[in-house]
Amino acid sequence: MDLLPETRMTSPPAVDPMLPLCARVRHRRQEGPDVWSLEIDLDGAQIPAFLPGQFNMLSVFGIGEVPISMSGDPADTSRLIHTVRAVGAVSQALVGLHADDVIGLRGPFGAAWPMAEAEGHDVIVLAGGLGLAPLRPALYRLLAERERYGKIWLYYGTRGPDNILFHQELHAWRGRFDMDVEVTVDHAPPAWHGHVGVVTTLIPRARLDPARTIALVCGPEIMMRFAITALGDAGLQDDCIYLSMERNMKCAIGLCGHCQFGPVFICRDGPVFRYDRVRGMLALKEI
């Protein structure tokens, strides 16, 4: 079975993604208890264009390199935004950077969300925790070209109110009349007046038309498994569901084998996959 995704770039990038560049941190903003967004640029040089869902390799000199998804607007050519959770040595060093600090950058790499394939369709975006970050560029694109798509739903779940990312965007998107935005938390204090429960419980609210709906899903592995089941219960076929599977990536080009599962390298052939092509992979505990 052909496991290569249909969402890879059809033309070569303007610059060689393997070419290391020096980028400079301009701003850093805390998004949650252990999550920060870094705004970087290339000191006036042209920012490499990227597609929603792709990632860069960011390096902190003397410590190491790590793959991080883009979380900014792909139409903004003046800067790149990466949202990072501090979970290891490199990510801890990244979130500890300050304005004017220099980092290494390679990219962009990877398969993208199926923005062209989704044209003319309704789109449901399901995000769990930090999974909203790789989906945010797709949301920017959906809203910038709103007339190309049907109904749009964003359902976002996270642990608690303090863990909600991108408050300003969520507030702005909730104020629109051309999309439906719902946020739910697993646990909440008495002051919380929103939804409580896992994000998949929101799916029946959408009243999806399975014949015309595309689903974009990113979050913890268990959340994605339950989301697939709930979307299937709503009538979506496996070839209408796209996942971003970012865990275990290390080198970005399928050389180290760290993210290999059978014939598939998540970094090289993904991280975005159509579900029917990786159905068996989600049963593996290592993913």
Angstrom CA distances, 237 to 140, 233, 241, 274, stand at 25, 10, 7, 11
Distance CA 129, CA 219 (A): 6
User: What pLDDT is stored for residue 166 in this prediction?
Assistant: 97
Whether 198 and 186 have beta carbons less than 8 Å apart is answered as yes
On the question of a cis peptide bond just before residue 114, with omega within 30 degrees of 0, the verdict is no
Cβ-Cβ contacts under 8 Å for 36 (sequence gap 6 or more): 28, 29, 30, 83, 84, 86, 94, 95
Is the distance from CB of 59 to CB of 103 less than 8 angstroms? yes
**What length is written for the chain?**
287
Beta bridge partners of 85: 35
Hey, how many other C-beta atoms are within 10 angstroms of the C-beta on 140? 18
DSSP state of 239: G
Sketch out the chain's domains with CATH numbers. 21-109 (2.40.30.10), 122-244 (3.40.50.80)
Query: How many angstroms separate the CA atoms of 10 and 18, rounded?
Result: 18
Query: How confident is the chain (287 residues) per 10-residue block, as mean pLDDT?
Result: 45 71 96 96 89 96 96 95 95 95 96 97 97 98 98 97 95 95 94 93 95 97 94 96 87 84 86 91 65
pLDDT for 203 equals: 95
Q: How far is CA 80 from CA 135, 215, 230, in A?
A: 15, 26, 34
pLDDT value of position 79: 95
Beta bridge partners of residue 35, listed in sequence order:
32, 85
Taken in order 118, 122, 128, 134, the sign of the CA dihedral is positive
C-alpha of 285 from chain center: 21
Output the CA angle 260-266-272, nearest 5 degrees: 160
What's the half-sphere exposure (Cβ side, CA atoms, 13 Å) at 254?
13
